[in-house]
Chains A and B, each alone.
Chain A
Amino acid sequence: MEKLVNDFAYGLFFWQALILIVLILLLRKYAWRPVLNSLDKREQGIKDALDSAEKARLEMKNLQANNEKMKKEAREERDELLKEARQIKEKMIADASGEAEEKANAMILKAQESIRTEKQAALSEIKAQVASLSIEIAEKVVKKELDNKEDQMRLVDNMLDDVKLN
């Protein structure tokens, strides 16, 4: 131990300290700092690239999911539209047939009406003709019956009797 202390090479110690300080400072400035900075930058770059790749993957996935969703929606909408169209068609058909029936009914009614009026008119005409015919016949009969005076009197008497009766 004493030998170690006595033989301690202070000169070597001094140079070593001096050189080491200078070496640390020089290496720090010209080697370690640029090297570590570049390493950090590169690692950050790799990390960023990985992150963005992951992000892109997720976006892609989202996009695909969206596409899928949109397709599904479109399909649903199409189905909806078709369904609606069918309903409209059916409604239209139903409406049309209803209207036609109504129209037919109305026409039938109108026809019946007119038939009835025609019938009435015909009946009243027949009645009028029958009346005029009856009057003509009656005139002819009366004319024939009342050729003489007696008959006329009788008739008047009869009529008077009727009036009396009334």
Chain B
Amino acid sequence: MQKENIIKVLLFFAVAFNVLGVFANNPQQHHEEGQADQESLRVDTKREVKEYISHHLQDSYDFTLYSDSEEGKHIGFPLPVILIDDGGLRVFLSSEFHHGEKVAEVGGDYYKLYHGRIYKTNAAGDMTYDEEHHPTNEKPLDFSITKNVFTILLTSILLLLLFGGLARHYRDKHIPTGFGRVLEPLVIYVRDEIAIPNIGKAKYRRFMGFLLTVFFFVWILNLLGMTPLGVNVTGNIAITACLALFTYLVTQFSATKDYWKHIFWMPGVPVIMKIILIPIELLGTLTKPFALMVRLFANITAGHVVIMSLIALIFVTDNIVLDGPISVLLTLFISVIELLVAFLQAYIFTMLSALFIGLAVEEHDHHPETNDIV
């Protein structure tokens, strides 16, 4: 009964934060809307909304909490930029770029921020373009601590604190207290509903570290994506690709002899089929993590786009009285769904990872070489 109440309170805060958060992240549009009213002119804000959303979906070199594009003011903090150029390692704060307005000079080299990417340039910041208006300037190797890296670090620390704390609870007691009571059922859930049914009781323990970490990592990042911080980590293909790669590696390196035998010499089928099946099965090992990567990326990106678009309804509408409440209600509705999706995607990612691992470590008792299965 108490647990239910805690979850209700958390849910309420999450929704409230989310609604507030997205509004807080759209001050630019507020401003524009006000301006449009003043001038009694139809301002084409749809394009700006689109740009704003695509900008939000991208990674960024500084952590901006609030920005006023009219006055060029940004409230937030810069993050370190780490570049590897032929001159060696270049480390400087992203504030050097002044949000893309200035050229950063580091160790005699000049770097410019152009559409969210860093290009090498000259002191004047000249850019060269090809026919499709893509910059042709040289791009240094970029290992910056971006907003997403920063958020990942923050999440990691949060996870370590939460679950390190949970582990400490057990040192002198059998039952955790406080927030541990919320975390413990989640750990048990991952173990009993995800790991054991898919991998089996005999072998699940080896993969619990990976599965639990990935589950809570993805879930917390999904939820952080719904806070006023305005981060979009799990909606970034590099992140989901990395997670999927981990699943792939864990699966392949823990696979049994049987698993490889089923890929390279499928038992129970004619020789011709065995040969045909080799490339198909090999491709299958790749498509599984690929699907994991795309699923998480697409779901979270779509969620962010939908919520931001719904809020933006207010700023592009002609009738604020009618469309305002619709926008808020729809946003609220989708936000609740996104909260579910945040959990669901973490669950699906972990569950499918467990399933793939389970398939790879499965022990086959016997295999009829002849096709006597009816």
A9 to B57, CA, bound (A): 13
Is A20 engaged at the interface, CB distance under 8 Å to the other chain?
yes
Q: Are A8 and B237 in contact (CB under 8 A)?
A: yes
Size bracket, chain B contacts: 35 or more
Report which of A11, A16, A31, A39 forms a contact with B164, defined as CB distance below 8 A. Answer: A31
Alpha-carbon distance between A39 and B212 when the two chains are bound, in angstroms: 14
Q: Does B66 contact A (CB under 8 A)?
A: no
Chain B interface: which of A21-29, A50-58, A114-122, A155-163? A21-29
Q: Say yes or no: is A131 at the interface (Cβ < 8 Å to chain B).
A: no
CB atoms of B159 and A9 under 8 A apart = no
Chain A residues with Cβ below 8 Å from B163 are: 27, 30-32, 35
Instruction: Judge whether B241 and A13 touch: CB under 8 Å.
Output: yes
Q: Is B239 a contact of A31 with CB atoms below 8 Å?
A: no
| B-side contacts of A22, CB under 8 Å | 156
Among B82, B156, B187, B213, the residue within 8 A (CB) of A35 is: B187
Q: Which residue of A lies closest to B212 (CB)?
A: A32
- Report whether B156 and A31 are in contact in the complex, using a CB–CB cutoff of 8 Å: no
CB distance B170 to A31 under 8 Å? no
The answer on a CB contact under 8 Å between B238 and A31 is: no
Docked-complex contact A11 and B208, CB < 8 angstroms: no
A20–B217 CB distance below 8 A: yes
Rounded to whole angstroms, the CA-CA distance of A31 and B190 in the bound complex is: 14
Contact check, A27 vs B242: say whether CB atoms are below 8 A apart. Answer: no
Contact yes or no, A20 B242, CB < 8 A? yes
In the assembled complex, the Cα of A32 lies from the Cα of B153 at a distance in Å of 19
Distance from A85 Cβ to chain B, minimum over Cβ atoms (Å): 63
**B354 touches A (CB below 8 Å):** no
Question: Are B208 and A16 in contact, CB atoms less than 8 angstroms apart?
Answer: no
A38: which of B174, B191, B209, B236 is its contact (CB, 8 Å)?
Answer: B174
Q: Which residue of B lies closest to A35 (CB)?
A: B167
A19 within 8 A of B: yes
Shortest C-beta distance, A55 to chain B (Å), equals 22
The distance from the CB of B344 to the nearest CB of chain A, in whole angstroms, is 21
Could you list 20 A-B pairs, sorted by A, with CB under 8 Å?
A9-B142, A9-B146, A10-B238, A11-B142, A12-B238, A13-B239, A15-B143, A15-B152, A23-B217, A27-B160, A27-B212, A30-B164, A32-B209, A35-B163, A35-B167, A35-B170, A35-B187, A36-B187, A36-B191, A39-B191
Beyond A16-B149, A20-B243, 8 additional contacts (C-beta under 8 Å) are A11-B82, A12-B236, A13-B239, A31-B163, A31-B167, A34-B170, A38-B167, A38-B174
